[in-house]
Amino acid sequence: MNYKSTSVKKSFAAKILRCFLPLTIALTVLLSSVSAYAVSISARGAFVLDSETGEALFVHNPDTPIPPASMTKILSLYVIYSHLADGSLSKDTQIPVGRALANYSRDPGYSNVYLDAGATYSVDELLGAICVVSANAAVMAIGDYLCGSEANFVDEMNNWLSAWGVNGYFVDCTGVSSRNKISPRGMATVANRLISDYPDVLNYTSLTFLNFRGYTYYPTNKMLPGGAYEYEGADGLKTGTTSAAGCCFTGTAVRNGKRLVSVVMGESSTNMRYVDTIKMMDYSWDLLSSRAANGQTYFDSTPKDYIVATDLRCFINDWEIPTFIHYGTAETNYQDCAVVMLRDLKDYGFDVSYDLATDTVTIVNNVDKDLTAGPNYGEQSQYDDEEKLELSDWEPANILLKNGPDDPGVYAERTFDINGSGAISIDELWHMGTVVWNEKYNITVVVTRY
């Protein structure tokens, strides 16, 4: 169907946002083929995957880069285990601790176990401290021993991200820095790598207490047996909390031989990270059970990679914009996403430019730019609903999103080339404002000026 003629007042999107934003903070409705119905969570981003197949079972802002706080240590643990695997380290290796690190271990502002200057600790001891207590000084001590400095250790961490194709970057091995960034999808990928390649780590992450040099510590993970949010099958993995990251949690549980890995990032409270994890895992178990009951072992694997016009209505800065749907492929775990054309964004308060030398389209949120789209612009699509648009074989240009001229920006991940015209997932616009979905009314609202 063509876009119908409707009367769209200038304040329409703002009204929609005011109506839905309070609900969105507590109720996120997923526009994704992996979600058959709405699941209410409050996390800034979330992801659940099937550990064996890698399939996404639940997604919410899956590709939004967010500080992971102490979940950073999941990748630190992978590096440590890689050295255990190649023989350059053993669990009996004694790790020395200097005065600076000993003093740091006593800083009440950080999660730690006490380490003594001049003492040595086995890798086995320190692994327990990292996994149970999230001990910063413990992971730093091993990193210094292995690589000579934390910076060199972090280089190894980032090398693994590059090898896996994960879009993330770390500057420390503890998660203290807000400059550490990774998406929920990326965090789930790293966690699943650790569990799959080195399942021995679960012997530590499943501990319900730790005796360390005369002190008893209890796990930060409250979904383990005896915890406030005890959950059947839970045996890991890692919490994280900073002011920049909010409350985060990467969890894992196994039932009947099937393992799930879940990630929530940017939660408002410690409790909510467990509440939302349980909701997502319950939903995912139910999804897998319903498939098994119907004889379905995996999500629809029919090859598909195309974009169609849609009657989904999207409003950017009060005005409707032509919107399309990309039906995902195996590379995106068959996730669908709403798409807008780059050429249209210039009429919605964005500066759009192209640099031939770097093959980069830069999109800048310009709050002073006049909106030129007009109230009926979104109705001008020449496409019929569900009409397929051809995807080019060309590699899409780099797309840099900047929230103002001084913002260094972030590169969009879900980009497309449609017969030479660039397109982008609406979810990518999170960097420049607020993106609110409402499935009931088939509407999404993007606001980048207030």
Query: For 309-329, how does the pLDDT look when each residue is reduced to its tens digit (9 = 90+)?
Result: 777 788 998 889 988 887 755
177 within a domain of the structure (yes/no): yes
Same domain for 217 and 73: yes
Same domain for 318 and 181: no
Which of the following is catalytic: 33, 70, 76, 284? Answer: 70
39 within a domain of the structure (yes/no): no
Say if CB 422 and CB 416 are below 8 A apart: yes
Mean pLDDT of 391-405: 75
Same domain for 258 and 327: no
User: C-alpha angle with apex 109: 108 to 113, nearest 5 degrees?
Assistant: 50
Give, to the nearest 10 degrees, the angle between helix 136-147 and helix 150-164. 90
Say if CB 112 and CB 135 are below 8 A apart: yes
Same domain for 250 and 151: yes
Say if CB 362 and CB 355 are below 8 A apart: yes
44 within a domain of the structure (yes/no): no
The per-residue b/e assignment along 8-27, b for 16 or more CB within 10 angstroms, e otherwise, is: beeebbbebbeebeeebeee
What is the rounded CA–CA span in Å between residue 122 and residue 129? 11
Which of the following is catalytic: 42, 73, 222, 284? Answer: 73
Same domain for 400 and 351: yes
Same domain for 359 and 230: no
46 within a domain of the structure (yes/no): no
Contacts of 440 (CB under 8 A, 6+ apart): 29
Q: Is 73 marked active-site?
A: yes
Which of the following is catalytic: 32, 51, 134, 183? Answer: 134
77 within a domain of the structure (yes/no): yes
Structural domain harbouring 388: 12-33+301-447
Same domain for 350 and 263: no
> Under DSSP, is residue 239 helix (H, G, I), strand (E, B) or coil?
strand
45 within a domain of the structure (yes/no): no
- Per-residue pLDDT for 245 more than 90? yes
What is the rounded CA–CA span in Å between residue 240 and residue 395? 36
Mean pLDDT of 425-449: 81
377 within a domain of the structure (yes/no): yes
> Under DSSP, is residue 262 helix (H, G, I), strand (E, B) or coil?
strand
Reported as a single tens digit per residue, the pLDDT across 343-388 is: 899 999 999 998 888 878 899 999 999 888 765 554 544 455 445 5
Q: Is 149 marked active-site?
A: no
Mean pLDDT of 431-436: 83
Going by the DSSP 8-state scheme, the letter that residue 446 receives in this structure is: E
Reported as a single tens digit per residue, the pLDDT across 194-222 is: 999 999 999 999 999 999 999 999 999 99
Mean pLDDT of 54-69: 89
CATH code assigned at 99 = 3.40.710.10
Mean pLDDT of the chain: 83
Mean pLDDT of 251-256: 96
Same domain for 391 and 312: yes
Q: How many domains does one find in the chain?
A: 2
Same domain for 145 and 19: no
Q: For residue 53, what pLDDT is reported?
A: 87
What is the rounded CA–CA span in Å between residue 418 and residue 399? 15
The binding site for substrate comprises 238
The most confident of 114-123, 338-347, 426-435, by mean pLDDT: 114-123
211 within a domain of the structure (yes/no): yes
Mean pLDDT of 294-321: 67
Q: For residue 38, what pLDDT is reported?
A: 44
Q: Is 279 marked active-site?
A: no
- Per-residue pLDDT for 40 more than 90? no
Q: For residue 329, what pLDDT is reported?
A: 55
Percent of all residues in the chain with a pLDDT value above 70, rounded to a whole number: 80
What is the rounded CA–CA span in Å between residue 182 and residue 337? 20
The binding site comprises 238
Residue at which a domain ends, from 226, 258, 293: 293
